[in-house]
Structure 1
């Protein structure tokens, strides 16, 4: 029943159903042994809390949920994935890095089913963006750093557009633009605009349930028109930003894999990367030049 309410976007009703289920299992000593059922209820509750941006409570439930899982199991990976997502959304980027590092060091990580591995590859790309913009400081010890990120390999690994079933390609399109913006490779950003336009036309109608994603991708399309200048982009994107602010978040389960970072926050970060100087192309890239400090590689 909770899932039914979630897909109707009635998150409060879903939480009420989950709480009733938790009381049923936790209120009886014999039922407390049903760890898997309690785990599932907790996982759905965490999704609801993320949807409502109650990250503090979501993290508390995650801490209660991890002991219900076995390290290296599918359930463990699912719980840590939500912990990483909460860290990203609450702007605790360093913590997100540490969660990914913990997970990626497990032998089972390399054996994940492809559909699960895709999500982690996507998170790794977002972490790379925050590394390049110095929101994350990699550990001094090279042995405790993530492996170098290669955008070419990432693009080869992600699913083809024609196979897009879950809207994940929205996040893939966005993170490509983010990485090239961080490096001020504006020619590469421009090259991605045609793919974004085609995706919007083909999949994202104004009346679709992915309305927020439609708005944000159109905001990205404004960047070349604004000549990658902050004030121009801010001005051109103001109406779409207002639409984002009043638009309801997409369905909880879909939202967590599409809108990895709230679009309003992501737009603010993009604007900070842009320059007000008309001679933007003469500026040095905003990436670390000291290679040994990061995990950047093209």
Structure 2
């Protein structure tokens, strides 16, 4: 398994780390919370399978995509989905330019076309936020054909051999809708849980090396309590977000822990009862 990943990494690599550059983890890259998850996803990438990352907000899906980009030294084009996403946002648009006194119509290539032609990674964030009628244009890109007929230019585009598609999905969130089965079946899906235990501590200590052991232990304990309440259905998943926890650490280096958690976690939630529960949990650890 490692040989196929390493061979592909060498083929895609456009630069090598210098003596003064750091490793992926030292740069704050993704750490897998589940044994083999990282390598299994890399295998899917090497095999040219579109990758779907499923997990709650703040579980590290975007960081994972960025780490894959770093691992293969492969640039990444991002699409942030919303109800306003349309074909032009994906493929590009025509514009009028004037050069040397003459007027031309020029096509400005969008992220899908650029990634396909250059062999880059296409990262589609919150793919289930897009309108269902927008995404079928990508069906031929995502299946064995790996090609696209651009409806704006008529150009037939065959994907570069290193072209990679990674999509992320937050299931059950407000504003999302179930993925069309024809679209979902084109992906290999991976569940991305929150970091915990040793992996979470490593991320924290890497990003905040000066943080006191007492602060790290306190934050870890609070995060564990928040995750338990998420599992019990008393808190929204956002309350246990690793992203929010790291925001807390950044604030807690300058202000009291209780206020840091209030600003970085509690105030993000709309439900007043959830906000109150979070602060009550904090009070059991912070005096």
Higher strand content, 1 or 2: 2
Choose 1 or 2 for highest CA Rg: 2
TM-score w.r.t. length of structure 2: 0.28
Higher helix content, 1 or 2: 1
